[in-house]
Amino acid sequence: MTKRLDPTEFIGLIEKDADIIIPLSNGEPHRLLDLLEAYYEKLHNVKVHQMLALRERDYINGKMKGHLSHISYFLSGATRKAYWEGHVELIPNVFQEMYRLLQKTAKKPMVMAAASPMDEHGYFSLGTNADYAAEFIGEAPFVLEVNKHMPRTFGANQIHISQIAGFIENDVPLTEGISPIITEKDQKIAEYITKDIQDGDTLQIGIGAIPNAVMKMLKDRKHLGIHTEMLTDGIVDLVETGAVDGMKKLSHKGKIIATFAFGSQRLYDFLNNNPSVEFLPVSVVNDAYEIAKEDHMVSINATTEVDLYGQCASETVAGRYYSSSGGQADFARGVRLSKYGKGYVCMHSTAKNDMISRIKLNLSPGSVVTTSKNYVDNVVTEYGIARLHGKSLSERAEALISIAHPKFREELMQEAKEFGLIK
Pseudo-torsion of CA 172, 173, 174, 175, nearest 10°? -110
Identify the H or E element spanning 301: strand 297-302
Output Rg (C-alpha) for the chain, integer angstroms: 22
Asked whether the beta carbons of 262 and 230 are under 8 A apart, the reply is yes
Q: Which residues participate in catalysis according to the annotation?
A: 229
- How deeply is 188 buried, as exposed, middle or buried, from its count of CB atoms within 10 A (0-12, 13-18, 19+)? middle
> What sign does the dihedral 91-92-94-97 (CA atoms) show?
negative
CA distances from 369 to 9, 196, 256, 317, 334 (A): 45, 26, 30, 12, 18
Sign of the C-alpha dihedral computed for residues 214, 219, 220 and 222 taken in this order: positive
Strands of 116-262, DSSP E: 123-125, 142-146, 154-155, 158-160, 166-169, 202-205, 225-226, 230-231, 256-258, 260-261
Which DSSP string corresponds to 354-412? TTEESEESSPPTT---SB-TTT--EEEETTEEEE-TT--HHHHHHHHHHTS-HHHHHHH
Bridge partner list, 387: 378
User: What DSSP line would sit under 22-60, residue for residue?
Assistant: E-SGGG--HHHHHHHHHTGGG--SEEEEEES--S--TTT
In this structure, the number of other CB atoms found within 10 A of the CB of residue 146 comes to: 19
What angle in degrees, to the nearest 10, is found between the helix axes of 233-240 and 209-216?
A: 0
Contact 130, 260 (CB under 8 A): yes
The answer to whether 288 touches 337, Cβ cutoff 8 Å, is yes
- What's the burial of 153, exposed, middle or buried (CB within 10 Å: 0-12/13-18/19+)? buried
